[in-house]
């Protein structure tokens, strides 16, 4: 095996962790490594670098897959159950060739597969197979396996079957975008990972995973001390790392602390940003003949102010036509296909490939990843080599271009959808049609395709995906409940939920009919439910808001993260406080305090203490109210600014009642902070109450 640190700058800790896990893999012991890092920290580069090293080792099979990134504002991965594992199994089969595919089918009980046209996505052949999961059930207790969907069971068994023949290194990039069932499957692997030669490497953005309430964060928190599950966070470059980069990009570079500090200050040490500046300075030498920094550079006259401007200047080698092609490519996503780009450019596929190849050779911002199956067709697939490049070109599209391009892609895919006789192919294409139709403003097609995606998820027993598809549908209907009452799509969703969703027990212990449970918000994801509760609260329908919050909490307590539990109980306390039902408010305030004392989660603490403080103030217990807010104010220094604004607002409201002078100090802070966060409406609401 090559030196793990060869030709790689920074991230020694993460590389060392991967190396140790890989050595254990070669001894037959599996593991899971979770790597967090924000945009530009080098997650993808790290995985591909490590894969190159692993490929130099005999007797190991390595697969890299990337979770589907959102298309525009539509997170298509949420309605693609087990998509990363589907691609992993496809790659494992394709690595063996067509003959090996049949051999694989015989070895792991997939004899039917050899008789099915191989449509390029294993996921959609599952329902054609004999679903005998009894052996899987025997390997786990009833309690552990009762929530295992057939799709998750399928991939668990097939990957383990491969691992029994050759150790597997499986890398999943951008897991924060994945569906809930993929995380569920990773949980099953975690239970016995040391017993199989399977090394899973997962990368994610913590900020995205937290903002979309991904179950991934529950997995990470739950396995912090598990012996075979490792966690690391990618670090920014230090000045020594930047010096190494300078040597790679700037010809005849001699260490210059002043220049290195300038790059560090411009980039904040973010690796992806550092590299863009290095590319710029590689073409625009920052030193004079004596090796000193040029005077105009010191004055920052010729230093790009942002990474966008640095990148823009490196694109001068591309013609306007070539830049426009890249902008068109960006509409399909970070990965784009020759067949779709040819359609958008109104040309033949060979001409489109020739154009893209020219750009690839000239600028290196895109590259071919070879022939892949997409939308039921085999086509050459390309990718932007950095997420930043994709977002850059996507942002160059004008509004009308954005809408028109997504409309054309949706129309192209819909034609393929209508033409294919294979139901499995229609299911494969449906999520993409939904995403592009949504970006094009075609709500009716989006709703129909969401339903199709939900049907596929139901076949795979991916109930969380069904929930998410229905939640997305509800968000689109908005407040127009009357027109949706007899909608065929909504009725079909309700029937789907009635057939497939496990019974949900509501607060009083009685299961209601599907319609009432839907109205109560029990079949939606946490974010949608929270929005429903907040909307009811702002409409002063406090009773309905409280019922929804506590019903959802009672029915899904074990599934909710602590921070989500805290938000629901805090909202319940606020609602009963507004209703002046202090008996109920006191009951849930006590429950909320007991919760935060047991979980020790700072953000949850802040939510609860703010809500309970307002309750104490309402019953004229100023001493307890002040105590709560003082505690919240001390903790909020280390929390996100939004939490700071919430706490400051409540302090100002309470102090205003008996200390105008002290209240004004907080009001000034609220004005400044709300302006920085663009939460001016919240500040206005606070001032209106004073």
Asked whether residue 100 carries a pLDDT value surpassing 70, the answer given is no
Using 50, 70 and 90 to split pLDDT, how confident is the model at 478? low
Q: Report pLDDT digits (tens) over 609-663.
A: 888 888 888 888 888 887 887 777 776 655 555 556 666 666 666 666 655 566 6
CATH number attached to the domain at 507-522+529-689? 1.25.40.10
Asked whether residue 73 carries a pLDDT value surpassing 70, the answer given is yes
Using 50, 70 and 90 to split pLDDT, how confident is the model at 675? low
What are the CA-CA distances from residue 194 to residues 421, 437, 621 (Å)? Answer: 44, 44, 54
Asked whether residue 497 carries a pLDDT value surpassing 90, the answer given is no
d(CA 401, CA 407): 10
* 34-38, 287-291, 467-471, 666-670 — most confident range: 34-38
User: Domain spanning 12-233: which CATH class is it, in words?
Assistant: alpha beta
Average pLDDT over every residue of 151-156 = 80
DSSP bridge partners of 377: 374
Tell me how far apart the terminal alpha carbons of the chain are, to the nearest angstrom.
Answer: 68
Q: Report pLDDT digits (tens) over 229-280.
A: 999 888 888 888 888 888 888 877 888 887 878 778 777 888 878 887 887 7
Q: Report pLDDT digits (tens) over 521-537.
A: 556 667 777 777 877 88
Q: List, edge to edge, every strand of the sheet that includes 31-36.
A: 61-66, 168-173, 198-204, 31-36, 229-233
On whether the CB atoms of residues 203 and 47 are closer than 8 A, the answer is: yes
**Least trusted range by pLDDT, from 95-104, 105-114, 474-483:** 105-114
Q: Report pLDDT digits (tens) over 180-205.
A: 888 889 988 988 888 899 999 999 98
d(CA 280, CA 315): 10
d(CA 407, CA 340): 12
Asked whether residue 686 carries a pLDDT value surpassing 60, the answer given is no
Asked whether residue 519 carries a pLDDT value surpassing 90, the answer given is no
Long-range Cβ contacts of 489-493 (<8 Å, 24+ apart):
489/447, 489/448, 489/450, 489/451, 492/451, 493/451, 493/454, 493/469
**Least trusted range by pLDDT, from 41-50, 145-154, 226-235:** 145-154
Asked whether residue 31 carries a pLDDT value surpassing 90, the answer given is yes
Residue-level pLDDT at 510: 39
Using 50, 70 and 90 to split pLDDT, how confident is the model at 77? confident
pTM of the model: 0.66
Classify strands 229-233 and 31-36 as parallel, antiparallel or unpaired: parallel
Using 50, 70 and 90 to split pLDDT, how confident is the model at 30? very high
d(CA 533, CA 527): 10
Using 50, 70 and 90 to split pLDDT, how confident is the model at 469? confident
Residue-level pLDDT at 658: 54
Residue-level pLDDT at 269: 81
Asked whether residue 551 carries a pLDDT value surpassing 60, the answer given is yes
Residue-level pLDDT at 172: 94
Q: Report pLDDT digits (tens) over 367-388.
A: 998 888 888 788 999 999 887 7
Asked whether residue 514 carries a pLDDT value surpassing 60, the answer given is no
Give Rg (Cα) of the chain. Answer: 27
Sign of CA dihedral 381, 382, 383, 389: negative
Using 50, 70 and 90 to split pLDDT, how confident is the model at 601? confident
Average pLDDT over every residue of 586-603 = 83
Using 50, 70 and 90 to split pLDDT, how confident is the model at 506? very low
Q: What is the DSSP string of 629-660?
A: HHHHHHHGGGS-HHHHHHHHHHHHHHHTTT-H
**Least trusted range by pLDDT, from 108-117, 409-418, 465-474:** 108-117
Average pLDDT over every residue of 426-452 = 90
Return mean pLDDT, the chain: 76
Residue-level pLDDT at 8: 67
What residue spans define the domains of the chain? 12-233, 239-315, 507-522+529-689
């Amino acid at each position: 095996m090559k030196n793990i640190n060869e030709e790689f700058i920074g991230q020694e800790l993460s590389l060392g962790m991967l190396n140790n896990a890989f050595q254990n893999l070669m001894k037959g012991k599996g593991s899971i490594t979770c790597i967090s890092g924000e945009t530009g920290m080098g997650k993808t580069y790290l995985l591909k670098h490590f894969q190159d090293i692993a490929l130099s080792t005999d007797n190991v099979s390595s697969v890299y897959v990337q979770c589907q990134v959102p298309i525009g504002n539509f997170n298509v991965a949420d309605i693609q159950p087990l998509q990363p594992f589907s691609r992993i199994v496809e790659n494992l089969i394709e690595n063996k060739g067509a003959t090996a595919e049949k051999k694989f089918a015989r070895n792991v009980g997939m004899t039917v597969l050899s008789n099915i046209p191989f449509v390029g996505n294993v996921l959609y052949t599952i329902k054609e197979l004999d679903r005998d999961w009894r052996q899987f059930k025997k390997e786990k207790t009833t309690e552990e396996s009762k929530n295992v969907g057939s799709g998750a069971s399928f991939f668990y068994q097939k990957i383990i079957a491969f691992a029994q023949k050759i150790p597997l290194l499986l890398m999943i990039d951008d897991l924060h975008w994945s569906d809930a069932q993929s995380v569920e499957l990773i949980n099953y692997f975690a239970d016995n990972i040391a017993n199989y030669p399977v090394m899973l490497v997962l990368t994610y953005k913590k900020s995205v995973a937290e903002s979309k309430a991904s179950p991934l964060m529950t997995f990470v928190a739950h396995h912090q001390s598990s012996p075979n599950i490792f966690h690391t966070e990618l670090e920014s470059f230090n000045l020594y790392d930047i010096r190494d980069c300078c040597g790679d990009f700037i010809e005849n570079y001699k260490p210059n602390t002043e220049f290195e500090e300038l790059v560090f200050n411009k980039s904040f040490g973010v690796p992806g940003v550092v590299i863009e500046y290095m590319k710029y300075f590689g073409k625009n030498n920052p030193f004079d003949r004596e090796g000193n920094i040029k005077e105009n550079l010191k004055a920052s006259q010729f230093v790009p102010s942002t990474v966008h401007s640095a990148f823009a200047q490196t694109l001068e080698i591309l013609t306007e036509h070539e830049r426009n092609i890249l902008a068109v490519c960006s509409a399909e996503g970070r990965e784009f296909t020759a067949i779709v780009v040819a359609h958008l450019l109104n040309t033949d596929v060979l001409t489109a490939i020739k154009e893209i190849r020219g750009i690839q050779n000239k600028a290196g911002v895109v590259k071919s990843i070879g022939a892949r199956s997409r939308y039921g067709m085999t086509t050459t697939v390309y990718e932007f080599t950095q997420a930043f490049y994709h977002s850059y070109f996507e942002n160059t599209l004008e509004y009308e271009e954005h809408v028109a391009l997504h409309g054309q892609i949706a129309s192209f895919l819909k034609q393929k959808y209508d033409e294919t006789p294979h139901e499995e192919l229609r299911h494969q294409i449906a999520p993409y049609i939904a995403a592009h139709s949504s970006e094009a403003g075609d709500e009716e097609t989006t709703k129909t395709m969401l339903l199709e995606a939900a049907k596929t998820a139901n076949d795979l027993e991916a109930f969380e995906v069904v929930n998410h598809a229905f939640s997305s549908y509800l968000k689109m209907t908005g407040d127009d409940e009357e027109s949706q009452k007899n909608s065929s799509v909504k009725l079909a969703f309700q029937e789907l939920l009635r057939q497939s969703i496990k019974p949900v027990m509501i607060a009083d212990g009685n299961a209601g009919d599907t319609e009432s449970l839907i109205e109560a918000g029990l079949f939606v994801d946490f974010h949608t439910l929270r929005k429903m509760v907040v909307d009811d609260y702002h409409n002063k329908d406090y009773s309905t808001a409280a019922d929804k919050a506590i019903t959802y909490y009672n029915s899904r307590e074990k599934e909710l993260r602590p921070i989500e539990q805290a938000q629901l109980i805090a909202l319940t306390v606020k609602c009963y406080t507004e209703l002046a039902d202090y008996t109920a408010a006191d009951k849930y305030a006590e429950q909320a305090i007991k919760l935060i004392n047991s979980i020790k989660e700072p953000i949850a603490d802040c939510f609860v203490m703010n809500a309970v403080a307002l309750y104490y103030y309402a019953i004229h217990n100023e001493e307890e109210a002040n105590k709560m807010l003082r505690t919240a104010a001390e903790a909020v220094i280390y929390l996100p600014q939004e939490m700071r604004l919430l706490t400051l607002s409540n302090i100002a409201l309470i102090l205003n009642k008996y200390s105008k002078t002290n209240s004004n100090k907080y009001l000034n802070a609220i004005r400044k902070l709300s302006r920085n966060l663009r939460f001016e409406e919240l500040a206005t609401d606070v001032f209106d109450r004073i």
